[in-house]
Amino acid sequence: MTAHPRVGVLAEGLRRHGHEVTECNAPLGLDTASRVAILSQPWRLPVLFARLASTWLRLARAASRGPEPDVVVVGYMGHFDVRLARLLFRRKTIVLDHLIGASDTAKDRNISGGGIKSKLLRAIDAGALKRANVIVVDTEEHLEALPEAHRSRGVVVQVGAPDDWFAAAPAPDGEAPRVSDGPLRVAFFGLYTPLQGAPVIGAALGLLGDAKVEVTMIGRGQELAATQQAAEGGCPVEWIDWVPSHELPALVAEHDVCLGIFGTGPKALRVVPNKVFQGAAAGCAIVTSDTAPQRRALGDAALFVPPGDAEALAQELRSLAEDLERLAGARRRARAAARERFGCAAVVEPLTARLGA
């Protein structure tokens, strides 16, 4: 699987708007799932704090050697790093990418519990937001979910797609993508978290045993087993548990359709996942859940089905497999929207406008 591309999109987008960007990075060595798990288990916090201390020392040293910045951007999952940024650059503008809230993510993954755990996670989020001059979120729904005291400092910046996804597209010159007369090739990649609704995908695949559809499911996570069970007896599926990030764009671009998310929980109804932007940039048709933020972001660049509706998803995939002209049109619209709206420079425009103001 791949690390989240958000940080790279912000950095490259700022460069293309004429800003000089210096990156200061010291990996913590814990992925998102591990960090959230630790935050929801207070007895494991000493492990996190020990790693943070070592990481902060490296970051502070690196920052002291670099040029004096006008603005400091703290990337997603930077709930603790924003505190260091404020200590090191007291009079500078601090931008926090609040793409993932600790409490919200823990609830989505069913690991937050209640009581002291929830209070701790909310306190971590609140402390991070308090230290930022500008708070970046990815949808209007997430902006409205910010505490009222911080909402005026928020700005919506879509996730977008990195350059390597555009480069992987089979028709980078803008021509209509090639549509095969073989089986419809469908790709999904993700961490199988509840918001992604992967078991809904599995149930849809289980209904397509007689359809001309082949599917590649990439990734692993908490709902993988349930997804595999739901897909039994359906169309052919290849299960891949790991793909290096530099190989993922080309692999997805070999497919006709890239699937988005289909969960029904509160968070699933507020987000636009990175995979729909990336799949569109790679020249795939996009099929995802019909939610307000996805409708707003994608428009006619995607085909929509009701959240949690496996039968509707199966019917949409069957229709695309049987109607190559409709498939070609869906791919063409997705690719055009990606070129116009989902690239690094385009998605960062609201942030550059806020910084300029």
Cα–Cα distance measured from residue 351 to residue 349, given in angstroms and rounded to the nearest whole number: 5
Query: Is 168 exposed, middle or buried (CB count within 10 Å of its CB: 0-12, 13-18, 19+)?
Result: buried
Domain holding 53, by residue range, is 6-157
Give the Cα separation of 249 and 268 in Å (integer): 24
pTM of structure: 0.88
Q: Using one digit for the tens of pLDDT, what is the confidence trace for 84-137?
A: 999 999 999 999 999 877 666 555 555 555 566 677 777 888 889 999 999 999
Last residue of a domain, one of 124, 157, 190: 157
State whether 135 and 182 are in the same domain.
no
> Is the same domain home to 202 and 168?
yes
Q: Which amino acid is at 76?
A: Y
Q: Is residue 70 part of a domain?
A: yes
What would the pLDDT profile of 142-166 be if each residue is shown by its tens digit?
999 999 999 999 999 999 999 999 9
Q: How far apart are CA 296 and CA 288, in angstroms?
A: 13
At 177-235, the pLDDT tens digits run 656 678 999 999 999 999 999 999 999 999 999 999 999 999 999 999 999 999 999 99
Tell me if 304 sits within 8 A of 297, measured CB to CB: no
- Is residue 176 domain-resident? yes
The contacts of residue 197 (CB under 8 Å, 6+ apart) are 261, 262, 263, 264, 268, 289, 307, 308
**Cα 50 from Cα 46, distance rounded (Å):** 6
Does residue 128 sit within a domain?
Answer: yes
Among 305, 268, 270, CA closest to 286? 305
Q: What is the CATH number of the domain that holds 234?
A: 3.40.50.2000
Same domain, yes or no: 146 and 229: no
Ramachandran category for residue 77: left, alpha or beta (phi over 0 → left; psi -120 to 50 → alpha): left
Which residue among 118, 142, 157 closes a domain? Answer: 157
Domain boundary among 138, 157, 176: 157
Residue 58 lies in a domain: yes
